[in-house]
Amino acid sequence: MSRKEIIVSNVSRYDNPIAELVQVACRFDSNITLESNDRRINAKSIMGIMAFNPSKGMTVNIVADGNDEKEALLAMEKFLVCE
């Protein structure tokens, strides 16, 4: 299992940030979870991401578990910090 805490940047610069974030997560076999405060959601769930609503300045823990977890964690981090 890999875990990283990040601060979300300006994801609103994407055309459809919620759908695009789910698409990034779905490219990987690993289970990917986003955590903030007491909330924990599956990053591959569009409804979960909508409810989670990652926004600028939000502190998020990205947790990935699986055979491609390191790549998944990096891709999610790059998306959320807008690299």
User: What CATH number is given to the structural domain containing 13?
Assistant: 3.30.1340.10
Print the domain residue range for 57: 2-80
Q: Does pLDDT of 14 surpass 90?
A: no
Map residue 12 onto helix, strand or coil. helix
Q: Does pLDDT of 74 surpass 80?
A: yes
pLDDT at site 13: 76
Q: In this structure, are residues 8 and 47 in contact, taking their beta carbons and an 8 Å threshold?
A: no
Alpha-carbon span 21 to 51, nearest angstrom: 13
Query: E strands along the chain, which residues?
Result: 2-7, 31-36, 39-42, 59-65
CB within 8 Å of 67: residues ≥ 6 apart: 29, 30
What's the pTM value of the predicted model, to 2 decimals? 0.91
Number of domains observed in the structure of the chain: 1
